[in-house]
Amino acid sequence: MPRGVVLYQQNDSAVLTWVWMVDGREQGVLFGPPGRENVPRPGEPGRSFSRIRSVRLADGTEQRLGLPRPLSRSRPNEAFVQVGETWVERGRIEHRLTRVEGGAVSMRGDARGMFRQVARKLDDLYGAVLVPFVDTLSDEDGEHGSEAMTSAAVFRDLRAVAGTDYEFFAYSGHGADDGLASAGIRTGGPIAQFADEIRRLVRRDGTVVLYACLTARDGGFAQALSRLLPTMTVWGHTSSAEASRNPDKVRFRNGSRETIADIIGEANVSRWRNLLQNSEDMYAHFPFMSDEELRDVFLVSSAELDVAPPSRRR
C-alpha cells in the first residue's frame, strides 16, 4: 500500500472575475475566450493587440476591448476601445471578487464538494499525510491576499512535513495550464521550489498526481514539473471537470507525454469514461496501477474495483 502526502485546498473559492474599470467605476465583466485579430496598436506601427476580449456591460450589451498583452494579476492591464477607425486607451482590467446583493463575497463551495473529498479518500485508502492550505485570494473580508502569499504558506507547511521516501504526492485544488491556481504555484513562478519539496518527500520512482483542471495540456504545468522530476511519474488532466470523474488524464515521464488513450487503447476510452462515472474511487486507484492492470480493468466489474483494484488490495 503506497504512502503519500496530499496538499489540498481546505477553503471554498471566492468567485473572482476580470472586470473592466473606467475612472474607478465597474463597466462590465469579461466573458468567453480571447480572440486574436491583427488589430494595429495606436502609436506603435507594426505592432498588434495580442488578443481581443468581449465585455458584457451592465445593460446587457457587449463591448470589444483590445489588450496589448495577456492579463496579469500583478501589473496594470491596459484596455483599448475602438473609436471610429482607431483604438484609444480607456480604463483597466482588474481581477476582482464577485459580490452578491448586500456585499457578501460570492463563494463556489468547491472545497467541500471535491478538494476535501479527494484528500479524505486518499487518506482512507492509503493513510496519507494531509496538508491543507488556504487560498488567500478567497478571503471574504475584502483584504484578500495574493498568489505569492498563498504559495509562501504552502511551502512553509510542506517544509513542516516529517519523513521522506513517500511513494506519492497529490495536489487537490484549482488548476490551470500554467500551474496550480489555488496554491499560487506556476511555471512562471516557484515551480522549481515545488519540485524540490516533492523531491525531498517522495522516493525517486514515486508518483505525482495533480487533481487539478488543465494542468496536463501539452507544454503545460504537469509537463514542466515532469522535466524537473525526471525519475517520477506525473499525472494530470487536460480539461476542466470534476476530479473524480475527469477522464482526460495524461501521464508524463521525464517530460514525455502519454494520454490515457495511448495507454489503454482508443477502443477502451468510452468504457474508461463510463467506469469513472460509475466508480466511487477509481480516480484514487488508477495512478498506482500498471499499464497491464489499466488495460485489464475492463474485464473486472466496477463493483469489484470499488472494493479493491488488482494492485491495491489491502
CATH at 281: 3.40.50
- In a domain, residue 264? The reply is yes
C-alpha cell at 173: 485544488
- Report whether 210 contacts 204 (CB < 8 A): no
Where are the alpha helices (H) located in 229-299, listed in sequence order? 260-264, 269-278, 282-285, 291-296
Q: Are residues 137 and 272 in the same domain?
A: yes
- The tally of domains found in the chain comes to 2
Name the residue type at position 136: T
* Spans of the chain below 50 pLDDT: 140-142, 300-314
Name the residue type at position 3: R
Q: Are residues 26 and 110 in the same domain?
A: no
Q: Are residues 217 and 197 in the same domain?
A: yes
Q: Are residues 33 and 163 in the same domain?
A: no
Q: Which domain holds residue 300?
A: 4-14+106-307
Q: Are residues 76 and 181 in the same domain?
A: no
The pLDDT score that the predictor gives to residue 228 is 98
β-pairing, 86-97 vs 16-22, is antiparallel
pTM: 0.74
The pLDDT score that the predictor gives to residue 207 is 98
Q: Are residues 146 and 256 in the same domain?
A: yes
User: Which residues lie across from 57 on neighbouring strands?
Assistant: 28
The pLDDT score that the predictor gives to residue 144 is 57
Query: Which residue reads 486507484 in cell numbers?
Result: 285
